[in-house]
Chains A and B, each alone.
Chain A
């Protein structure tokens, strides 16, 4: 067949490749582009034919993707990708290839759609390919979405701090209450942590969860716990009942 004008030569992605599937045929609107390797990378979806020519798709342009094993709909199991964009299938001098395309061109109301199918020779890889695409797609939320507020960083912390100050709902147990609710596993965890605490005090390391004047420690989810500054060694004389 004729060369697809949108195919380019470029190096395969090197970073953030969540899944790579060799020996995968790419099909656009029913026409095969050949066999190559599909790269599902965090930045974009790329396919490179064995000759070195290929194309990339940006996740924001992908409307949906799916695993199709319905052989009545299409004779080979594949990863279906619907893209919200136009792809030229042939040089403009040649006659248009797909009948459906002409109708869509003339109707301004209907958005352009390009249907890609990636047919791996290894059918069992389809689940992994699908999941990798889901993960990468989730990394590219719609920037035009008016509903989702821009900045939620730190907001959950504020809500939590406010609610904790209410004090109505006991969401924390006092030491005695909590101890009586511990399972054997919880007990073992407590003993281990206390052991670590005792050890770290004696070697004067910063203790997890305890801030000295020199250290600032943020919990992973952004919640800062306001504890008065302590001096290492403060707990040396603490009594702990097991």
Chain B
């Protein structure tokens, strides 16, 4: 579960739909860019500023030329639309991301390995 190490970024994510995009980690997704090019690839990271990092990308530029990129980073400013894949349950994804943020928050630290105090109902 990818949760930002930054307090500010967690708060931004929690209060916007960026949190949904962050839940698309590892899903193949199509991103429409502001200049009308599109990129389809596997989501490897989305940060609170909606910067999107994709791997194994098929990129179609605004003239329609198709090329393949190993990795692509699009700035949030240039993202016009992110297609949510059909197999993604939007509500469940948002809830899962919120739980991940809350797990990090309640145990006060940035370490992911807080296994000493697991919540019993998640065992």
Contact = CB atoms under 8 A, between A and B. Distances in A.
A172 B47 CA distance: 29
A145 B76 contact: yes
A133 interface: yes
Contact of B69 (A68, A147, A181): A68
B67 A73 contact: yes
A191 interface: no
Interface in A36-81: 60, 62-70, 72-74, 80
Given A62-B75, A137-B75, A156-B10, A223 B115 contact: no
A220 B8 CA distance: 12
A148 B12 contact: yes
Contacts, number: 122
A153 interface: yes
A156 B105 contact: yes
How many interface residues does chain B have, given as a range?
35 or more
B7 A156 contact: yes
Nearest to B103: A171
B35 A148 contact: no
A156 B76 contact: no
A178 B72 CA distance: 44
Interface of A: 60, 62-70, 72-74, 80, 84, 110-111, 113, 126-127, 130, 133-134, 137-138, 141-142, 144-145, 147-149, 152-153, 155-157, 159-160, 171-173, 178, 181-183, 185-186, 189, 219-223
Top 6 A-B residue pairs of the complex, sorted by shortest distance between their CB atoms:
A186-B116, A73-B67, A171-B106, A141-B49, A66-B69, A70-B68
Given A189-B116, A222-B7, 15 more contacts: A62-B75, A63-B35, A64-B74, A65-B72, A67-B72, A68-B67, A69-B68, A70-B67, A70-B68, A80-B69, A137-B51, A142-B76, A145-B77, A148-B16, A152-B12
